Chain A
Amino acid sequence: MMTDFFLKLRQAGIPVTLTEFLTLLEALSQRVTAHSIEEFYYLARATLVKDERYYDRFDQVFGSHFQGLETLFDEIIGARVPLEWLHKLAELTLSEEDKQWIESLGGWEKLMETFAKRLTEQEGRHQGGNKWIGTAGTSPYGAYGYNPEGIRIGQETSRHRRAVKVWDRREFRNLDDTLELGTRNIKIALRRLRRFAREGAARELDLDDTIRSTARNAGWLELKMVPERHNAVKVLLFLDVGGSMDDHVRVCEELFSAARGEFKHLEYFYFHNMVYEGLWKDNRRRYTEKTATLSVLNTFGHDYKLILVGDATMSPYEITYPGGSVEHFNPEAGDVWLSRLLTAWPHAIWLNPQPQNRWSYIPSIQMVRELMGERMFPLTLEGLEQGIRALQRAR
């Protein structure tokens, strides 16, 4: 029952880890909650969800999973959790980070041992009076199996039902921002790219080090200097301003203004549909003031991270054929230029404002995505976060 719940939360995209699930079991065993399913809901939420953006999804999963089960509540969470089952669950769901954490605690066996011990201690202390851990007579886990359908009971039988349950009120709906992307959210996402470093000339007095050195020096003053600290990440932003992008102007502006505020080293250029031999910085003067893409390639070092923003929605000719551009005659095909960019800046992503469920119907999106080595992400908060993570990964 509980394990199904756990898996459903993960399926809903809520990043619950086994650690947290164990914490929930521990909390139950320590009787943090009394008896109502409402309290259980609060406890589970405080334990398993660490970001209010997921509250609404949590409510939905909780609602559908425990629907009609209120009277069986004690049994639901009173079930003994077999260790083998936890093993299996772990294999399915442990992230690399989880594994490392478990290693640091002395390995999986050790963790389970401690956990089991803790549970039995509890059991002993409460001498069967404990509802949370299998009391005598309660069937072990397998008795009612994994399938919630098997024990669903009619809603009429539920005596404790309330008019509207908390989780059914969906009060956190507007916090789930997979759809809405504001400048602030973008900023938070971009901040993940921060990497503070002290670079350049030593200009700041390092007071701590000066004092330390002087003290160590038996009182002879020894000045220590360090370079200033700043966000050292460098970003190149290429924005598509083609006609089909008109629908997405607002989100692009937001992204742009957030990025400008966030990165000291930010360079941006515009393109139309696809990158070719020329880029421009001022959209009103795009025909007169072009910058040669080659010179951009030569100007910005490999340590720049490249973010392309465009809907990649065009005729395939614009990608694969010389002269395929709708605006001018391009001597070399778009894919040639895109590959050059990717060689120069291996840390690169493409953000696409088109809804992701449409991607597979538009051949040009598929092509660009392939050229990008799958590093195309939807321009939603979630997509942006994934993209930023991809940018951070070593290549």
Chain B
Amino acid sequence: MSESRFRGTDRYVATDDLMMAVNAAVTLGRPLLVKGEPGTGKTQLAEEVALALNRPFLQWHIKSTTKAQQGLYEYDAVSRLRDSQLGDARVHDIGNYIVKGKLWEAFTTEIQPVLLIDEIDKADIEFPNDLLHELDRMEFFVYETRQVVKARHRPIIIITSNNEKELPDAFLRRCFFHYIRFPDKETMERIVNVHYPNLKKRLLSEALEAFFEIRDVPGLKKRPSTSELLDWIKLLVAEDIPPEALRGDQRKLIPPLYGALLKNEQDVHLFERLLFMSRRKKD
């Protein structure tokens, strides 16, 4: 029997409020919309929920050109055209050319799955509205084959957004919502720990110190997030950087390998300039 409540996993740290949002969505069978800064674990969440609750995992990644219909099915007319010109007998059954979309798959898996609709805000503004009907009714109609596809169970749907666009109210009303706040030091320590359980305590605390300090630099275009921190720590370990090197008089030293944290050229300049200025003040 699978666990019925989500509490995070040994690879993913979930805060209390996130657990509540997930469990409410699972219990009531409504979608969960997750927002938050880039790199705060939005995408990974759905996979971990699937893992923890022991469900199949389906991922629908949204691009600017994605249409809601593609989540249901697509009619592959090109193949049919080719087959007809080659005289293939399959051509007579239009059903052979209906390609199932992710929502269709999610409706028909044997066990209730977790479906991730990733970066929904990338699509056209109307996209979420176009899905409302199917999400409400949990069924849709395939015109080509005159068939109704009904959900065997309500899939657990987790939707992420990076806030590129506002989502329609009608859509929001049907979802639970959770905003992943940027992890505080304590939570971040736990997150790093699940990724690098054997990291030396000193290195971890110095790295976090330096990391949060960089995040506090005013005026950065792109503040480093969890994923940058993890990358950086990986490099620090690989290069065998000692904890002391992260320290010194922090404002006087550029942390080693900081290119992993600041990826935007302007930010690097800004950071170097600030360091330069503070150094001059102290000398």
Q: Does B20 lie within 8 Å of A42, measured CB to CB?
A: yes
Interface of A is mostly: helix
Q: Smallest CB–CB gap between B254 and chain A, Å?
A: 28
Q: Does B28 lie within 8 Å of A32, measured CB to CB?
A: yes
Q: Does A194 lie within 8 Å of B21, measured CB to CB?
A: no
Q: Does B24 lie within 8 Å of A211, measured CB to CB?
A: no
* CB neighbours of A33 from chain B (8 A): 20
- B contact residues, total (Cβ < 8 Å): 36
Minimal Cβ-Cβ distance residue in B for A101: B170
Q: Does A42 lie within 8 Å of B27, measured CB to CB?
A: no
Q: Which of A19-55 contact B (CB under 8 A)?
A: 19-20, 23, 26-27, 30, 32-33, 38-39, 42-43, 45-47, 49-52, 55
* CB neighbours of A211 from chain B (8 A): 77-78, 81
Q: Which of B166-182 contact A (CB under 8 A)?
A: 166, 169-170, 172-179, 181
Q: Does B170 lie within 8 Å of A49, measured CB to CB?
A: no
Minimal Cβ-Cβ distance residue in A for B22: A46
B124 within 8 A of A: yes
B62 within 8 A of A: no
B145 within 8 A of A: no
* CB neighbours of B169 from chain A (8 A): 15, 97
A161 within 8 A of B: no
Q: From B32, B77, B173, give the contact of A19 (CB < 8 A).
A: B173
How far, in whole Å, are A101 and B168 apart by their CA atoms in the complex?
14
Q: Does B176 lie within 8 Å of A47, measured CB to CB?
A: yes
* CB neighbours of B77 from chain A (8 A): 211-212, 214-215
Known A30-B27, A192-B166, A211-B77; contact A50-B181, beta-carbon cutoff 8 A: no
How far, in whole Å, are A43 and B170 apart by their CA atoms in the complex?
20
Q: Does B166 lie within 8 Å of A171, measured CB to CB?
A: no
Q: Smallest CB–CB gap between A174 and chain B, Å?
A: 11
Q: Does B165 lie within 8 Å of A219, measured CB to CB?
A: no
Q: Does B24 lie within 8 Å of A43, measured CB to CB?
A: yes
Q: Smallest CB–CB gap between A100 and chain B, Å?
A: 9
* CB neighbours of B55 from chain A (8 A): none
How far, in whole Å, are A215 and B144 apart by their CA atoms in the complex?
13
Q: From B35, B78, B173, B178, give the contact of A46 (CB < 8 A).
A: B178
How far, in whole Å, are A20 and B172 apart by their CA atoms in the complex?
10
Minimal Cβ-Cβ distance residue in A for B35: A52
Q: Mark contacts of A151-193 with chain B using CB atoms, 8 A cut-off: 1 yes-contact digit, 0 otherwise.
A: 0000000000000001000011001000000000000100110
Q: Smallest CB–CB gap between B14 and chain A, Å?
A: 12
Q: Smallest CB–CB gap between A73 and chain B, Å?
A: 15
Q: Does A23 lie within 8 Å of B28, measured CB to CB?
A: yes
A85 within 8 A of B: no
A244 within 8 A of B: no
Minimal Cβ-Cβ distance residue in A for B74: A208
* CB neighbours of B33 from chain A (8 A): 50
* CB neighbours of A43 from chain B (8 A): 20, 24
Q: Which of A117-158 contact B (CB under 8 A)?
A: none
* CB neighbours of A386 from chain B (8 A): none
A293 within 8 A of B: no
A17 within 8 A of B: yes
Q: Does B20 lie within 8 Å of A39, measured CB to CB?
A: yes
* CB neighbours of B163 from chain A (8 A): 188
A317 within 8 A of B: no
Minimal Cβ-Cβ distance residue in A for B24: A32
Minimal Cβ-Cβ distance residue in A for B28: A27
How far, in whole Å, are A150 and B27 apart by their CA atoms in the complex?
34
Q: Which of B220-260 contact A (CB under 8 A)?
A: none
Known A17-B173, A215-B80; contact A32-B27, beta-carbon cutoff 8 A: yes
A196 within 8 A of B: yes
Q: Which of B10-40 contact A (CB under 8 A)?
A: 16-17, 20-21, 23-25, 27-28, 30, 32-33, 35
Q: Smallest CB–CB gap between A162 and chain B, Å?
A: 13
Minimal Cβ-Cβ distance residue in A for B82: A219
B198 within 8 A of A: no
B84 within 8 A of A: yes
Minimal Cβ-Cβ distance residue in A for B32: A46
B85 within 8 A of A: yes
* CB neighbours of B35 from chain A (8 A): 52
Q: Smallest CB–CB gap between B80 and chain A, Å?
A: 6
Q: Which of B60-89 contact A (CB under 8 A)?
A: 77-78, 80-81, 84-85
B277 within 8 A of A: no
How far, in whole Å, are A30 and B124 apart by their CA atoms in the complex?
35
B125 within 8 A of A: yes
Q: Does B28 lie within 8 Å of A46, measured CB to CB?
A: no
* CB neighbours of A215 from chain B (8 A): 77, 80-81, 84
How far, in whole Å, are A188 and B167 apart by their CA atoms in the complex?
11
* CB neighbours of A26 from chain B (8 A): 28
Q: Does A188 lie within 8 Å of B165, measured CB to CB?
A: yes
Q: Does A46 lie within 8 Å of B24, measured CB to CB?
A: yes
Q: Does A219 lie within 8 Å of B178, measured CB to CB?
A: no
* CB neighbours of B125 from chain A (8 A): 191, 194
Q: Does A32 lie within 8 Å of B23, measured CB to CB?
A: yes
How far, in whole Å, are A171 and B177 apart by their CA atoms in the complex?
17
* CB neighbours of A214 from chain B (8 A): 77, 81
Known A19-B173, A20-B173, A52-B35; contact A171-B27, beta-carbon cutoff 8 A: no
Minimal Cβ-Cβ distance residue in B for A26: B28
How far, in whole Å, are A27 and B26 apart by their CA atoms in the complex?
11
Most chain B CB inside 10 Å of its own CB: which residue of A15, A17, A50: A50
Q: Smallest CB–CB gap between A130 and chain B, Å?
A: 15
Q: Smallest CB–CB gap between B65 and chain A, Å?
A: 10
Known A20-B173, A38-B16, A219-B81; contact A191-B24, beta-carbon cutoff 8 A: no
Q: Does A191 lie within 8 Å of B172, measured CB to CB?
A: no
Q: Does B173 lie within 8 Å of A42, measured CB to CB?
A: no
Please, could you name 15 A-B residue pairs with CB atoms under 8 Å apart, sorted by A? A19-B174, A20-B173, A42-B16, A42-B20, A46-B17, A46-B32, A46-B176, A49-B177, A188-B163, A188-B165, A191-B165, A191-B166, A214-B81, A219-B81, A219-B84
Beyond contacts A188-B164, A191-B166: 4 other A-B pairs, Cβ-Cβ < 8 A, are A27-B28, A47-B24, A50-B172, A101-B173
Q: Top 4 A-B pairs ranked by shortest CB distance?
A: A52-B179, A42-B20, A46-B21, A50-B172
